[in-house]
Structure 1
Amino acid sequence: MGGDSLRHGRKRTARLSACLVVLALALAGCASIPDSGDVEPVKVSPQDESQVRVYAVPPPQNATSADIVDGFLEAMTSDDPDFAMARKYLAKDEANAWQPQKGTTVLSEAPDLEGPEKPHSADQPGLTYQMNGQEIATVDADHVYQPLKPGRYQEQLHLIQEKIGGRKEWRIDALPQGLVLGQSDFQRNYRPVDTYFYAKGDNWLVADPVFIRQRIDPLTRMDPITQAVNALLAGPTEWLKPSVTSAFPTGTQLQKGTRTLQFDDNNALTVPLNAAARTVTPLLCKKMAAQLFFTLRDLTSTRVGQIALRSGRTSLCSVTGDEAQAYEPGNAASQPDDAFYVDADGRLARLAPDDKKGGDDGNLVPGPFGHGAVKLDSVAVARDEKRAAGVAQDGKSLYVASITHDAEAGSPLVTSDGAKASDRLSAPSWDSRGDVWVADRDPGHARLLRFSGGASSAEEATVEGLDGRRIEAVRVSSDGVRVALLLTKGSRTSLEIGRVQQSGYGDHKKLAVLDLKSVTPQMETVTSVSWAGPSRLVIVGKQAGGVQQIRFIQADGSTSDASVLPGLNQVTGIAAGDKDSKPLVADSGDAGIVELPSGGNWQAIVEHGSSPVYPG
């Protein structure tokens, strides 16, 4: 049965009236196997289909009040068109007024029920049931996921007896708007998708995550591909909107009535748009198609071959995968993306596949960081792998130097006045524009700094919402639009993501990190973080009372049990490449540097080394 949907505590039992029919389908849409007739080719949409389909059933005659409550909560977990079966459990007026599209409340498990509570007087008819649970997230009407620190959820369902077919039947006449789902039901019904928009002033794409239905949307009747296109055309989320733009003209929508979009046999998709897109230039049209290409590429089980756009009967343009790469998210196209580390002597080395325990001096990079003119504590490698930014072993000074040829270290870009190493400079981070970011943790002069081009004078970024917390670490996303910050207050270090925003010109130029949002409210502490692609991070941390975990999370804070990685002890640093093909690398205390190849187990590769990093 649908995940948590039969585990609702007292008064929740599997009654026939509340039962959901669950069909496991080997192929979506197969009803029977014919034993006669001609063999005909069948077109199959390349998107993945869940093997589990859930259908609600209407309330039976003479159902008890508990049956009605159970049945309604079960029906909310189905894919029923417009939640028609769920509405049958509601009183007539409420059936018309209920708005499931208002948003979704996600509980750790489906709600427990208390009741019924009878009215205190005869002039207050009906019964009241109370839904209880632990609220862990919400999804708003714009499909944006927001994780929450687990908190108590309490809402009421009120029932009355309404005359139906000549009989008095229990129906719900007061309830919260939106859906209420346990976490497993939510994960069965919804899936994340990254929509893509252009970084302002740049020609590369930025991922903007939202949630869509796994199968047909009960409200719009759109399939997942069409839902994703529709979400893209609706524009960026409110949080990201100030820092990105869309190539689609204002008012661009799908052609009226479009509910299904299918790839053809060549994995090409034609997207029909309304008249607002008809007059776009060829270049702008290509950029529009590239946004669609990257939005849809993770929704299909096969490689997207081509995206074509049309408006009415007019073909506008098309892009292939190779053409779309010009707008690769985060400017990550054709980058080597090798891993690096600091060896036992404070020198920067490239992490080669054939590294032996103890490392190899032949892998040291050219320049002052490789030959030891500056002994390194932490390092960041530019995304073009031509320069690196390094913090010296005492944590006081930040240097930028070539790693492709011998050169002098030069003067430090900044020096911290912190009294001890932990109060000085954090590890640096590069963005896609070639700028270096670093946090000065000096309690008397804490600040977040950016060095344009890795060479000029520092720009101090205003960080709103710190509330007395200190920036412990900074990691800029590959697109340069978002920055992940580890923030410490007392014994707790939390992970929050802020939006990079720049305004003004010349002497009035202002740099800010705005709208911090917590993406790990359920973690007691986070000790290390790395971006792992356009919209994913890998973190090291632990939940209250738990042990250290390494896990992937999405940039909106959503996660799943499958995201927890194999155990590893005493991890002090973690790094991931922009591409999934690159193994994770970690600093694991006495074990030195280890890596986790795809589908494998952790392997020790450098016995005496630290601070493993990928470019960025």
Structure 2
Amino acid sequence: MTRIRRFVAITAIAASVCCSGCTVIPASGPYTVDEAGAGDPLSKPFQRMIAIEPQPSWSPEQTIRGMQAAMAAYPDDPETLLKYLTPKARAKWNASGPVAVIEDQYEVVPDASRDGTETVQKVSIKGRWVAAIQEDDSYLPTVGGMDRVYDLVKNPKGGYLIDALPNELVLTASDVARAYRPTNLYYPSRNTQDRLVVDRLRLRLKPTERFAQTVLERLLEPPTGALQGAVLSSFPPGTKIESVTSGEERVVINLSGPLDLLDLSAEDALRAQIRFTLNKNDIAKGRIIEIQVDGEPYTVDRPNSDENWLSNGGESAYYISKGALHSLGKDGPMGAVPGAAGEPREGYEDFALSKESNASIAARTATGISVAGLTQEGRWQEVIPGTDLTPPTWHRDGSLWTYDRANAVLLRYDPAGGRGAERVAAPKLVGLDVTKLRIARDGVRVVVATGKNTVQIGALTGEGAGMMLGNFQALTTTEESDEVVDVAWEDDEHVLVLVKSSKAVQILNQINVGDGETVGVPLKDRLESLAALEDRILAESTTDKGTKILELNQDRQNWTPKVETNAGAPLFPLG
């Protein structure tokens, strides 16, 4: 935006504030100024907050609101906020802690419940927490009431100053929506290095820097705590982003640092990290991506390049009828699979399907978990004994996992290992009532349901004998009287959680595992289990005539019957 256009914008905003009759903050501020970027493919348009310093005529309540506005502007204007503080507070305060996010509608009130003096006035900000943006840029939703008390003293020049301030920035949800953007970064998995894992965070827009540069510079840093130890980087330490430029058909990224120009595998992973990070954030927009090192050509990534870095392990749908596995096409049933897996059988439940390239089916029985290949010669064979195991789940590397509730241990069975099930460390699960455990198709993230109403997200860290399940973060906790019926991975970012409430009403939520964003899915029929893959969601429904398979329509509002009778336990490979 040009200097003249910015002046016009400020004048217009000031006029609108004045006309609105706002008395909390005078017409002189704060302002939001539209920043350039709408026509730049490497940038994101946004509004920058311009705060004003405390005014001699302001009350204590107005001063607190002005301070909060100055917090929203602080990253771009650190000086104005400091003018709200006494010298003592200024010497102690810093913005090193997490960013506290509160609802837009908050109160600023004198705090009569706490003792003040003639020289100190206590004022509270009261509202509700929304989230915290951690120092690693992760966005963690929070709940509950917020009550911050501030001590204000008279300013010799008139008005008030704040005498103590916690080491944090308090922003409203609108402040965050204006200045931050949800961003997906991609890192290679540590345990299967042919697959990328998405890391979702919030990045602050910078007026002096293209968003593409902001994103790529963050990609050079370690992932958020949720993926620490679970992913790698194709960028060697010391790599820098020297410049990011674009034309109509090409984005040029110039790197510097100790890159090995002869390591083709590293080149492929680096290109994939950059490609998916830019494309999934709608930055490159179908352009050719040229990567340089010290200004010299290094590699080129073209639109519609190989997508195997985000492979899901197969796309076919299946279901169970009378204990036999059947294929499910887009238009309906396609018959039973060959071999023992396609034969009717009693006493088998909680089925799981491996990658399609060498597909096997696993099921839980009264004595353990059994496996059968989807071939004419395939036969059922018990591979993990146990009488109190969670439903099985496959890893993309071909191993089969379950949690032994009786012995409180996580078990992994590798068909290629020639040994029985081996223990995998999961210290944070000890003492918890683990009811469900499902590994994501990326081979890293794991969703775990504990008790009746809690769902957590963890990650498989390390590799080989050093692999463990950790990095747990809460995903959702329902009311104590509710019960989690089923969980299923929809894609790399989203988990579906089916809950039965105390009123016998079911709720189906799609939850983003990176930032907790939740979207409800309408329900009409009673559901028993779920399976999902990208834009397809299947469910088993119980009726007076038995069970049937439903599929959620593309409008995400209605369900269509796919198999009307004797059909349940829908399945997709992995997830």
Flag whether TM exceeds 0.5 (same fold): yes
- Alignment CA distance shift 1:346-1:119 (3 Å): closer
1:416 aligns to what?
Answer: 386
1:6 aligns to what?
Answer: none
2:279 aligns to what?
Answer: 297
- 8 A Cα contact 1:347 1:376, kept in partner: no
2:511 aligns to what?
Answer: 553
- 8 A Cα contact 2:43 2:210, kept in partner: no
- Alignment CA distance shift 1:90-1:604 (3 Å): farther
Deviation, 1:152, is: 4.1
Among candidates 445, 453, 458, match of residue 493 of structure 1:
453
1:341 aligns to what?
Answer: 319
Deviation per CA, 1:181-206: give whole Å up to 9, x if none.
34454345433322222222523222
Gap regions ≥5 residues in structure 2: 1-21
Does residue 146 (structure 1) correspond to residue 155 (structure 2)? The answer is no
> In structure 2, how many angstroms separate the alpha carbons of the residues matched to 1:595 and 1:79?
48
2:302 aligns to what?
Answer: 320
1:39 aligns to what?
Answer: none
Does residue 228 (structure 1) correspond to residue 215 (structure 2)? The answer is yes
Deviation, 1:337, is: 0.8
State the identity as a percent.
Answer: 22
2:68 aligns to what?
Answer: 73
Please show how residues 72-221 of structure 1 align to structure 2 within 5 Å: 72-77=67-72, 81-91=76-86, 94=89, 98-100=93-95, 102-108=97-103, 110-115=105-110, 120-121=116-117, 125-148=119-142, 150-163=143-156, 167-183=157-173, 185-201=175-191, 202-213=193-204, 216-217=205-206, 221=208
2:248 aligns to what?
Answer: 265
1:448 aligns to what?
Answer: 410
- 8 A Cα contact 2:351 2:392, kept in partner: yes
CA RMSD of aligned residues (A): 3.4
1:265 aligns to what SS in structure 2? Answer: coil
> In structure 2, how many angstroms separate the alpha carbons of the residues matched to 1:18 and 1:547?
52
* Aligned amino acid, residue 584 of structure 1: I
> In structure 2, how many angstroms separate the alpha carbons of the residues matched to 1:313 and 1:223?
19
- Alignment CA distance shift 1:409-1:551 (3 Å): same
After TM superposition, the score normalised by the length of structure 1 is 0.78
> In structure 1, how many angstroms separate the alpha carbons of the residues matched to 2:316 and 2:539?
14
Deviation per CA, 1:408-453: give whole Å up to 9, x if none.
4242112333xxxxxx443322111111112344xx4344322114
* Aligned amino acid, residue 485 of structure 1: V
* Aligned amino acid, residue 494 of structure 2: R
- Alignment CA distance shift 1:564-1:89 (3 Å): farther
Does residue 463 (structure 1) correspond to residue 426 (structure 2)? The answer is yes
Does residue 237 (structure 1) correspond to residue 224 (structure 2)? The answer is yes
* Aligned amino acid, residue 351 of structure 2: V
1:476 aligns to what?
Answer: 439
* Aligned amino acid, residue 161 of structure 1: K
> In structure 1, how many angstroms separate the alpha carbons of the residues matched to 2:87 and 2:408?
60
Deviation, 1:249, is: 0.9
After TM superposition, the score normalised by the length of structure 2 is 0.83
Deviation, 1:367, is: 1.8
> In structure 1, how many angstroms separate the alpha carbons of the residues matched to 2:484 and 2:317?
23
> In structure 2, how many angstroms separate the alpha carbons of the residues matched to 1:108 and 1:229?
30
Among candidates 564, 588, 593, match of residue 541 of structure 2:
588
> In structure 2, how many angstroms separate the alpha carbons of the residues matched to 1:232 and 1:604?
44
Deviation, 1:99, is: 3.5
2:496 aligns to what?
Answer: 538
Among candidates 558, 563, 567, match of residue 606 of structure 1:
563
> In structure 1, how many angstroms separate the alpha carbons of the residues matched to 2:177 and 2:185?
19
Deviation per CA, 1:251-295: give whole Å up to 9, x if none.
22222xx6xx454311x3222333344867454233222111112
- 8 A Cα contact 1:385 1:615, kept in partner: no
Deviation, 1:47, is: 5.7
Among candidates 433, 446, 469, match of residue 397 of structure 2:
433
**Count of residue correspondences:** 543
> In structure 2, how many angstroms separate the alpha carbons of the residues matched to 1:224 and 1:277?
24
Deviation per CA, 1:434-487: give whole Å up to 9, x if none.
11112344xx43443221147842112232122522221111111212221111
> In structure 2, how many angstroms separate the alpha carbons of the residues matched to 1:544 and 1:103?
36
2:13 aligns to what?
Answer: none
Deviation, 1:115, is: 1.0
> In structure 1, how many angstroms separate the alpha carbons of the residues matched to 2:213 and 2:356?
37
1:33 aligns to what?
Answer: none
Deviation, 1:70, is: 1.4
- Alignment CA distance shift 1:14-1:170 (3 Å): closer
Among candidates 462, 471, 474, match of residue 518 of structure 1:
474
